[in-house]
């Protein structure tokens, strides 16, 4: 079955792609052997992250529009918050991006975090590896804004875009260090707000030392995603960065981080959260550390 799916996916059959993603999500028997058979791919992953309310989904929608304008194709994975009860997605990005739902050059899949603290789906690495063997020109992963743990996207994406919104005065100084470290491109969305130019100026000053250390200038792009402004300039910055990383050691750090995440998930495979909840419910032990000691 998986062999036939592989052939169809490489031809660009989206129904086979959607089915394969579902099989991987549910750890259908044979999926691990299927992953071992995946051919190498040079397609790069674009990661979009940032604090809640920054406009990540709107920016993703605008970026899709720019990619389609250039007669290219794109696969988008939108990782939504999950319900703590049924682990399904609380939001539906396909609804928010309904303009592209029937476009043959756009594939959009919503995934739930399923309790993952890093804002990503537990099988996101495997799913993106499958997407990389499709004929799509671009792959975008949009993450949940979940605070400091947004940095998990750095282990997945070749180009990490951090979306922020303008803040007044010295508040830029309080920006989380994790986001400052993982960003390959900064996007200041909602740049039509007051003091946006001041925010951008301060952000660029903060990023100046990184140019000396990394020999790479981190661009700061102003966008008004709701009006489709700035998406073209953003795409212009993404392309050269994806060429640049080939000559740096970041790709080896990416591979190491991916391997680490896969090993971690494999070793945690036998831990069932539902079963754990039932054990806690029926246990007389009140000390959490003694309760989990047997694990």
Distance from C-alpha of 219 to C-alpha of 186, rounded to nearest angstrom: 6
Instruction: Name the DSSP class of 227.
Output: G
Q: How far is CA 207 from CA 61, 144, 190, in A?
A: 27, 24, 20
Statement: residue 117 has pLDDT above 50: no
Q: Which of 19-28, 265-274, 276-285 has the highest mean pLDDT?
A: 19-28
Range name among 114-118, 195-199, 273-277 with the lowest pLDDT average:
114-118
Distance from C-alpha of 165 to C-alpha of 53, rounded to nearest angstrom: 8
First to last CA, the chain: 36
Q: How far is CA 195 from CA 169, 205, 227, 230, in A?
A: 8, 16, 19, 18
* 200-218 pLDDT per residue, tens: 988 888 887 665 555 668 8
What sign has the CA pseudo-torsion 237, 63, 119, 135? negative
Q: Which of 23-27, 77-81, 269-273, 280-284 has the highest mean pLDDT?
A: 23-27
What three-state secondary structure class fits 234? helix
pLDDT average, residue stretch 225-249:
85
Give residue 63's Cα distance to chain centre: 14
Identify the residue with better confidence: 7 or 113. 7
pLDDT at 214: 58
Statement: residue 166 has pLDDT above 80: yes
Range name among 127-131, 148-152, 263-267 with the lowest pLDDT average:
148-152
- Report residue 81: phi and psi, to 5°: -60, 150
């Amino acid at each position: 079955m998986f062999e036939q799916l592989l052939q169809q996916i490489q031809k660009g059959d989206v129904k086979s792609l959607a089915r394969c993603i579902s099989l991987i999500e549910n750890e259908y028997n044979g999926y691990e052997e299927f992953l071992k058979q995946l051919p190498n791919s040079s397609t790069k992953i674009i990661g979009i992250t940032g604090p809640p309310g920054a406009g990540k989904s709107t920016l993703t929608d605008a970026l899709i529009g720019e990619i389609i304008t250039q007669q290219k194709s794109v696969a988008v994975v939108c990782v939504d918050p999950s319900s703590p009860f049924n682990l399904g997605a609380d939001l539906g990005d396909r609804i928010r991006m309904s303009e592209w739902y029937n476009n043959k050059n756009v594939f959009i899949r919503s995934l739930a975090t399923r309790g993952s603290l890093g804002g990503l789906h537990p099988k996101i690495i495997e799913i993106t590896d499958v997407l990389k063997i499709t004929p799509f020109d671009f792959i975008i992963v949009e993450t949940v804004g979940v605070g400091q743990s947004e940095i998990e996207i750095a282990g997945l994406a070749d180009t990490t875009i951090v979306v922020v919104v303008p803040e007044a005065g010295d508040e830029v100084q309080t920006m989380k260090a994790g986001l400052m470290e993982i960003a390959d491109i900064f996007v200041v969305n909602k740049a039509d707000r007051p003091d946006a130019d001041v925010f951008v100026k301060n952000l660029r000053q903060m990023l100046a030392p990184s140019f000396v250390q990394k020999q790479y200038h981190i661009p700061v792009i102003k966008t008004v995603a709701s009006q489709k402004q700035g998406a073209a300039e953003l795409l212009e910055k993404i392309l050269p960065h994806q060429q640049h990383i080939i000559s740096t050691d970041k790709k080896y750090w990416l591979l190491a981080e991916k391997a680490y995440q896969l090993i971690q998930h494999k070793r945690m495979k036998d831990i069932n959260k539902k079963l754990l909840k039932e054990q806690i419910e029926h246990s007389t032990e009140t000390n959490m550390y003694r309760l989990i000691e047997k694990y």
